[in-house]
Amino acid sequence: MVVKVENLKKLYGKFEALKGISFEVEEGEVFSLLGPNGAGKTTTVEILIGLREKSEGKIYYFNKEMEKIDKKIKSVIGVSLQKTELFRELTVIETLKLFRSFYKDGYDPYEVLEKIELVEKEKERVKNLSGGQFQRLVVGLSFINDPKIIFLDEPTTGLDPQSRRKIWDIILEFKDKRKTIFLTTHYMEEAQFLSDRVCIIDNGEIIALDTPQKLIENSNLETIIEIDGVYEKFGKIIGNRTLVETNDPNSLIQKLIENKIENFTVRHPTLEDVFLKLTGKELRD
Q: Which residue segment(s) compose the domain that 239 sits in?
A: 222-268
Do residues 29 and 134 share a domain?
Answer: yes
For residue 283, the model assigns a pLDDT of 62
Tell me if residue 159 falls in helix, strand or coil.
coil
H or E segment and range at residue 272: helix 271-279
Q: What per-residue string of b and e applies to 266-282 under the rule 16 or more CB within 10 Å gives b?
A: eeebbbbbbbbbebeee
Do residues 183 and 230 share a domain?
Answer: no
Do residues 133 and 243 share a domain?
Answer: no
Do residues 152 and 211 share a domain?
Answer: yes
Do residues 16 and 131 share a domain?
Answer: yes
How many C-alpha atoms does 277 have within 13 Å on its Cβ side? 17
Q: Considering only CA atoms, which of 21, 20, 15, 19 is closest in space to residue 199? A: 21
For residue 109, the model assigns a pLDDT of 97
Has residue 276 been placed in a domain?
Answer: no
Do residues 30 and 118 share a domain?
Answer: yes
Has residue 282 been placed in a domain?
Answer: no
Regarding pTM above 0.95, the answer is no
Do residues 156 and 232 share a domain?
Answer: no
Has residue 275 been placed in a domain?
Answer: no
Has residue 47 been placed in a domain?
Answer: yes
Exposed / middle / buried, residue 241 (Cβ in 10 Å: 0-12, 13-18, 19+): middle
Number of domains in the chain: 2
Do residues 18 and 83 share a domain?
Answer: yes
DSSP state of 91: B
CATH number, domain with residue 27: 3.40.50.300
Has residue 284 been placed in a domain?
Answer: no
Has residue 280 been placed in a domain?
Answer: no
Has residue 283 been placed in a domain?
Answer: no
Do residues 87 and 152 share a domain?
Answer: yes
Has residue 199 been placed in a domain?
Answer: yes
Do residues 27 and 125 share a domain?
Answer: yes
Tell me the C-alpha distance between 60 and 250, whole Å: 52
**Average pLDDT per 10 consecutive residues for the chain, totaling 285 residues:** 96 95 97 92 95 96 94 94 91 97 95 95 96 93 96 90 90 92 92 96 96 94 94 90 92 93 94 91 62
Of 177, 196, 216, which closes a domain? 216
Do residues 171 and 248 share a domain?
Answer: no
